[in-house]
Structure 1
Amino acid sequence: MITLQNENLTVMINERGAQLHSIKRSGSPLEYLWQGDAKSWGRQAPILFPFVGRLKDDQYRFAGQTYHQTQHGFARDRQFSVVEQANDHVLLEQRSADDTRAVYPFEFILQVDYRLVKDQLAIQYRVENPADHSLIYAIGAHPGFNMPLTSAGRFEQVEFKVTPAEEYSRIVLVGPYNDSARPQLIDMHQPLQLNHELFNHDAIIFKTAGSDFAATLTDPTSKHGVTVQTTGTQYVGLWSAYPAKANFACIEPWWGIADNVNADGLLLHKQGMSRLAPGQAASYHFSIRPF
């Protein structure tokens, strides 16, 4: 387990999946990050790569071959190696190998940079294509936060607000697949009061289309919460477990999305995928600020 610390924050990271394990403000006992529970959701903050969401029948076709891949890809379950580390910063990496090529026929280098910047945890994903052909992928984040943050509060009291506070196009899920051809409007001029029934059709997906977007969860009983600031995302999801009910909510920056309800299974046609030319790299940024 890796620990980062500055005068404001103490953050722990698991090298398996490069997954966040703990976020605390220095000098405070409050644990902001969900600690996982097999009865509802056993993960904490998985990295989604090389797919975001679910593929139809957990498979796709590329270059005449059919490949099987589970929801959100494999990066979250593979070991990362430490490239560099300091008290307030760590850079982790995983690369393509025989086990990834069996389900994903591309070469890649995936780096995750965690850096404490004053009272924020700045996170950068970097994807590099070391091969002589295009790399097709999606990437996203899935951090879960304890809500409420103390035993005095209730999940149903938690408020969710976004900046800019305006109407957004909401992508609806039909089962695990997106129905982007029939979006709904969601009015976020006022904060959204959480309740478990909000998630009876899975995540609430905001179409952010590359604009700067900040999402804040606040526990009004303790006056504490967390803000996730995103830059350049295509979508941001808000999710909690259902029908299992637990005291957490996820704010999920996505550069990709689950298969469309009308997807034909061909990777070249898949919605929301990024492409990198040989030798090229791309970076993706967001931050987490507990308060």
Structure 2
Amino acid sequence: MSHPVRIGNEFLTIEISALGAEMQSLKTRDGRDWLWNGNSKYWTGRSPILFPIVGKAADDHVEINGHVFPMAQHGFARRTTFDLTASTPNMCRFELVASDVTHALYPFDFLLALDHSVDGAKLTVAAEVENRGQTDMPFGLGFHPAFLWPLPGGEGKPHQVTLDNGAEPALSRLEGGLIPPTLQDSPFKDGRLTVQHSMFEADAMIFPQGAGDGLTYGVEGGPQLHFTFENLPNLALWQKVGAPFLCIEPWHGMAAKAGAGLELAARPSTTILAPGAKARFAFTVELPA
């Protein structure tokens, strides 16, 4: 396994692995790491990229143009080694290009590029998907970063997720890993939610729409992380129950609808990319300087 790529500036230091183009650490200049460390006791992920599906497929298969393909939860990109194609002190780009291996799972010619870049106390993680084939290409894409809970300096204090738009988006709860037909009342009140471990006994909290383009996670009057989202209309919050992390997951795509069959293009919030077209998805997180 090659060493992670390190980027940074006077405020932040980030390490990214070629496996899955996955961020491994996110440290401020005081040396504190704000990212989950991947302890296998709870969850080995840290900040995986979800492609070409977000969430689960029924029976772990998808149907594309009348053919059925195996597809593990959250797709194959997070388990695939990317190539480092650009690197400067404050940014790096990893790319995954379609191959015989990916064609056996997903029959499209694509480029998936992941950029990590820093600007002051802000980190931006951007994904670019290009359709290099001759037919329309359906896919989902999502981010799955896990941040410490409690945050450094926030020990023993309640942590909140506060939506920039002050909304109260409806909640979806997975049933057998799939999206049920009915929504539940929002746990947000005036855009605010105090997170509690018991909230995740029923798996992820998914907000299919209305959570907006930004939120703050942290402690009132204490450490906070502010997020902005680009082209990511769906949001999920998740943890392994009792684990010391919270995943803030902006997505463009979700698990399959229960009873809707295997068709990839029919999954909620699927992007259909025309031949030669590109699509960009990104999140920015600002840390305490």
Q: TM over 0.5: same fold?
A: yes
* TM bucket, shorter chain: over 0.9
Provide Cα deviations, 1:121-150, integer angstroms capped at 9, x if missing partner: 012110001111111111000000011134
Match of 1:189 in 2: 190
SS class of match (2:95): strand
Residue among 274, 277, 280 paired with 2:277: 280
Q: What pairs up with 1:260-271 in 2 under 5 angstroms?
A: 260-271=257-268
User: What is the Cα-based RMSD across aligned positions, in Å?
Assistant: 1.9
CA distance in 1, matches of 2:220, 2:280: 35
Match of 1:13 in 2: 16
Match of 1:158 in 2: 159
Q: Judging changes above 3 Å, is the alpha-carbon distance between structure 1 residues 190 and 129 closer, same or farther for their aligned structure 2 residues?
A: closer
Match of 2:88 in 1: 86
Q: Judging changes above 3 Å, is the alpha-carbon distance between structure 1 residues 139 and 73 closer, same or farther for their aligned structure 2 residues?
A: same
CA contact (8 A) 1:208 1:233 kept: no
CA distance in 2, matches of 1:32, 1:289: 11
Q: Judging changes above 3 Å, is the alpha-carbon distance between structure 1 residues 163 and 152 closer, same or farther for their aligned structure 2 residues?
A: closer
User: Residue 213 in 1 paired to residue 216 in 2?
Assistant: no
Letter in 1 for 2:56: R
Provide Cα deviations, 1:191-221, integer angstroms capped at 9, x if missing partner: 3222211011111112335x74222221469
Letter in 2 for 1:65: H
Richer in strand (by share): 1
CA distance in 2, matches of 1:285, 1:180: 28
Match of 1:171 in 2: 172
CA distance in 2, matches of 1:139, 1:194: 25
- Residue 52 of structure 1 and its aligned partner are, at CA, apart by 0.1
SS class of match (2:280): strand
SS class of match (1:168): coil
CA contact (8 A) 2:253 2:267 kept: no
- Residue 159 of structure 1 and its aligned partner are, at CA, apart by 2.0
SS class of match (1:51): coil
Letter in 2 for 1:206: F
Q: Judging changes above 3 Å, is the alpha-carbon distance between structure 1 residues 108 and 217 closer, same or farther for their aligned structure 2 residues?
A: same
Q: What pairs up with 1:6-155 in 2 under 5 angstroms?
A: 6-26=9-29, 28-150=30-152, 153-154=155-156
CA distance in 2, matches of 1:279, 1:213: 27
Provide Cα deviations, 1:167-207, integer angstroms capped at 9, x if missing partner: 21222322311125434333331632222110111111123
- Residue 239 of structure 1 and its aligned partner are, at CA, apart by 0.7
